[in-house]
Amino acid sequence: DLRFKENIPRMLYICKISPEVSKKYSRVMHSHENLIEIVLIYSGSSTYMIDGKMIDVKKGDLLIYNQGIVHDEMVFPKDQIGFFCIGIENLLLPGRGKNELTTKKLGYRFETGEEFDDLYSLYEMIYQNLAKEKTNAENFCNDLAMALLEKAITVVGSGNNGKTDAEDLVDNAELLSRKVKEYIDEHYKEPVTVNDIGKALYLSPYYVAHIFKENSGYSPIQYLIRRRIGEAQTLLITTDMPIAQIALEVGFDNQSYFSIQFTKNVGMPPMKFRKNYVIP
């Protein structure tokens, strides 16, 4: 049984992205402050960035985004991917932090194996009941979400993350890359430069840029911009804050430049994104 004491987990939202829609869907670098997100890949494959590492994902994978874990769900032109995503708050498991289901050592991608069919059915039932706005659907779907959470805990507990022992070894370059990522995550709202990062880590800017690009696939400035854009997406979805204010909030001092970068990274301007993704 899940025993949460006074903390009662609650489902906040669910979404379903079809392979066809995934071509237009670009949820850029972001994290969640007060919830855990559990994603089931039900079709196709792609490459996501999760906690600073590029990870290949495919049908049957369960992705766990603990509270505060930065992730980038960019679908490359050659890829199509279908997935469900559910957000849950107030999760507190024994030996884990708040809204934490996995650990850095276990990783964030797990193969569902024989649990896939049950997980898919639970996601689909929750999604369809809420989409059809059935009577008492919210309570019913929250119960289903708790059953889904039980399944996710089983999958994570099995430890089937597809990693080899060699992949668990962390070299100095990867540790340095993680420090660069952590610095940007902490300071992304500020006017950060590669020189600033180099000074903070007592390294040459060239070396910082080279190591980070080699390990993450992005230059430090590309990561910084995507981090800002991802947080802007969250504000566009969850608030009615004016776009000019959002631009300032995430670190852009020029709204025009913000709009250009947003469109470049997301595929549509901020206002269109808000209209497409906010439920009236």
| Superfamily, domain 10-165 | Jelly Rolls (2.60.120.10)
Q: Can you give the three-state secondary structure of 51-68, one letter per residue?
A: CCEEEEEECCEEEEECCC
pLDDT at 159: 64
pLDDT at 217: 86
pLDDT at 18: 85
pLDDT at 94: 85
Q: What is the DSSP letter of 75?
A: P
Q: What is the DSSP string of 16-44?
A: EE-HHHHTT-EEEEE--SS-EEEEEEEEE
pLDDT at 75: 65
pLDDT at 165: 43
69 alpha-carbon distance from chain centroid: 7
Structure token digits, residue 231: 């947080």
Specify the DSSP element, H or E, that contains 266.
helix 255-266
pLDDT at 158: 75
3-state SS assignment for residue 241: coil
Residue stretches of the chain with pLDDT short of 50: 1-5, 164-170, 279-280
Going from the C-alpha of 103 to that of each of 43, 86, 99, 263, 274, the distances in angstroms are 26, 19, 11, 34, 33
pLDDT at 160: 63
Residues of the chain with CATH 1.10.10.60: 172-277
Please give the model's pTM, rounded to 2 decimal places: 0.78
pLDDT at 76: 66
pLDDT at 166: 44
CB atoms closer than 10 angstroms to residue 182: 12
pLDDT at 137: 84
| Superfamily, domain 172-277 | Homeodomain-like (1.10.10.60)
